């Protein structure tokens, strides 16, 4: 139990990201269009509020400093993008193939980073290094499939993206746990080499 608490405390941001990926994957799998529209509208609301705060900040700031910060231009840009997300969320649905290409590129990059993680674990002689290798291989495979897009419909592509999100998150958490346990065992053996 102490190991799990230590892992959670030391890697909280990674664990939150993985849990978010699982949650997003499940929602995307259940209803891809509604979930995507809800995310886009939510982003629009956040951008709109940030833009309004930036504009207000511009008028509350001393003129010379405000000119340097360019809060008015930033605020107007954020408000414009926020309003676009709120009222044109269907545009993002129509351009989903482009968004999936970007997602495929991101997954490809994370797959390459996971190769580093797997090789590091292997070189550190962590016994469960192959979990990281499996995660890296799956990331690269998912990225290639998404970029090639062999699916006949967008719904199948969305479902594939959802499944890939869930699997990657579960493997990342598993790898994180084994990586942490391996580091602890290595620290114990370097402190007490005769054990």
What is the 3 state secondary structure string of 71-125? HHHHHHHHHHHHHHHHHCHHHHHHCHHHHHHHHHHHHHHHHHHHHHHHHHHHHCC
pTM of the model: 0.58
H or E element at residue 134: helix 129-148
Contact call for residues 79 and 53 (beta carbons, < 8 A): no
Tens digits of pLDDT across the chain (195 residues): 556 666 566 667 777 877 888 888 888 788 877 887 888 899 999 999 999 999 999 999 898 888 888 889 999 999 999 999 999 888 877 777 777 788 788 889 988 988 988 898 888 888 778 888 888 898 899 888 888 876 666 777 778 888 888 888 888 888 777 766 555 555 554 443 444
Integer Cα distance of 92 and 4 in angstroms: 39
């Amino acid at each position: 139990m102490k190991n799990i608490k230590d892992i959670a405390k030391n890697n909280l941001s990674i664990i939150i990201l993985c849990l978010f990926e699982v949650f997003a994957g499940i929602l995307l799998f259940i209803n891809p269009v509604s979930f995507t529209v809800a995310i886009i509208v939510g982003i629009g609301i956040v951008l709109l509020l940030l833009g309004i705060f930036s504009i207000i900040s511009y008028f509350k700031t001393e003129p010379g400093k405000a000119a340097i910060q360019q809060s008015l231009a930033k605020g107007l840009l954020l408000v414009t993008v926020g309003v676009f997300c709120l009222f044109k969320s269907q545009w993002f649905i129509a351009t989903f193939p482009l968004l999936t290409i970007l997602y495929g590129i991101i997954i490809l990059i994370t797959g390459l980073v996971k190769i580093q993680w797997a090789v590091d674990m292997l070189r550190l002689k962590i016994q469960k290094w192959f979990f990281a290798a499996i995660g890296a291989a799956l990331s690269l495979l998912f990225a290639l499939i998404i970029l090639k897009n062999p699916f006949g419909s967008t719904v199948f592509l969305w479902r594939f993206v959802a499944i890939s999100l869930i699997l990657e998150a579960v493997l990342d958490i598993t790898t994180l746990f084994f990586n942490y346990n391996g580091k602890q065992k290595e620290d114990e053996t370097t402190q007490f080499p005769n054990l």
